Amino acid sequence: MSTTAIDPVVERVGVITSPLPVAPVPVEDTWQKVKLARHPERPHTHDYISRLFSGYIELHGDRRFGDDQALIGGLACFEGRNVVVMGQQKGKDTRDNIKRNFGMPCAEGYRKALRLFRLGEKFGFPIICFIDTPGAYPGLQSEERGVAQAIAENLLVLAALRVPVIATIIGEGGSGGALAIGLADRVLMLENSIYSVASPEASAAILWHDASLASEAATSMKVAAPQILQMGLIDEVIQEPDGGAHTNPSESAGLLKAALLRNLEELEFETGETNGGIDGLLEKRYWKFRSMGAWQQA
């Protein structure tokens, strides 16, 4: 393996530049994770909002085009704190999935998220995001309304947002559709969720011209939460009830609540004046993502 150049500033700040070895996972195990992440009864964003937050007030629309039901969000209270919460929302049945576009937001969905980011920053409210999408909707109407630009603008704004940001992958974390609300100070994953550059089916079709090889593609891409953690792309894997989150949504919400509260308290401590304040947090957020993919041969 050849050695790539390491940014001298990356070395100066002391970030990890060598990825941890990723243990191989059998095809059947990885594909089981994919099936659990997509389970039709798996809790979605609204299920967690209703269990974890009080006083939730949903806000609608991007004030440019319309209200995308594939991404929901608003103001809420979390353990005595005012927060902004949002996430992709899949449907519970066929009719609801059509309404929610199967959890694939269009440009207006990500502009709604941008509106909520700005609102949280204006009032000093932490941002809590739930990621559960196969990806942004790639249809003609979404492209016409500038979905790529909307995702790019979200990434730019999130990188400099002057409030703590926590993102949790609760099901599927697919491509730029996930990243658009996932550039966070802390990125968490539920045990049976997945995170990938593209869906296993799309990757199999691209690599081998055969979408039926999706299970092999999932294994090759290392989409499972423990593998993503080992590669340093997320910060924590949250345990689920036996059999998956759908077997006991309330228990799953309780485990998620504990992780969110702990990480939020740590971020609040980091933003204290004695620890560099919000500018220090922004510096850490920048280098967190700047160092991903940087490595050097031992």
- Distance between CA 97 and CA 37 in Å, rounded? 16
Q: Does 56 score more than 70 pLDDT?
A: yes
d(CA 131, CA 87): 6
pLDDT number for residue 291: 86
Asked if 161 and 117 count as a contact pair (C-beta separation under 8 A), the reply is yes
**Over 60: is that where the pLDDT of 287 sits?**
yes
Q: Greater confidence, 219 or 112?
A: 112
Cα–Cα distance, 218 to 197 (Å, whole number): 11
Please say whether the beta carbons of 240 and 255 come within 8 A: yes
Mark out the alpha helices in 53-146 (DSSP H runs).
94-99, 107-123, 140-144
The Cα 162–Cα 291 span in angstroms is 21
Helices 249-270 & 277-290 angle (0-180, nearest 10): 120
**pLDDT at position 15, please?**
39
Residue scoring higher pLDDT (110 or 231): 110
Backbone angles phi, psi at 224, to 5 degrees: -75, 150
Query: 3-class SS at 121?
Result: helix
List pLDDT tens digits, range 38-53.
Answer: 999 999 999 999 999 9
> Which of the two residues, 130 and 142, has the higher pLDDT score?
130
Check the CA dihedral 110-112-116-122 and report its sign: positive
Q: Are 76 and 119 in contact (CB under 8 A)?
A: no
Question: Which CATH architecture describes the domain 8-290?
Answer: Alpha-Beta Complex (3.90)
Structural domain boundaries in the chain: 8-290
Question: pLDDT value at position 30?
Answer: 85
| pLDDT computed for residue 28 by the predictor | 61
What is the rounded end-to-end Cα distance, in angstroms, of the chain?
A: 11
Residue-wise pLDDT for 195-214, tens only, equals: 998 888 888 999 899 888 98
In this structure, which amino acid lies at residue 4? T
Q: What is the CA radius of gyration of the chain?
A: 19
Q: What is the pLDDT of residues 137-189, one digit of tens each?
A: 989 999 999 999 999 999 999 999 999 999 999 999 988 999 999 999 999 99
- Mean pLDDT, all residues of the chain: 87
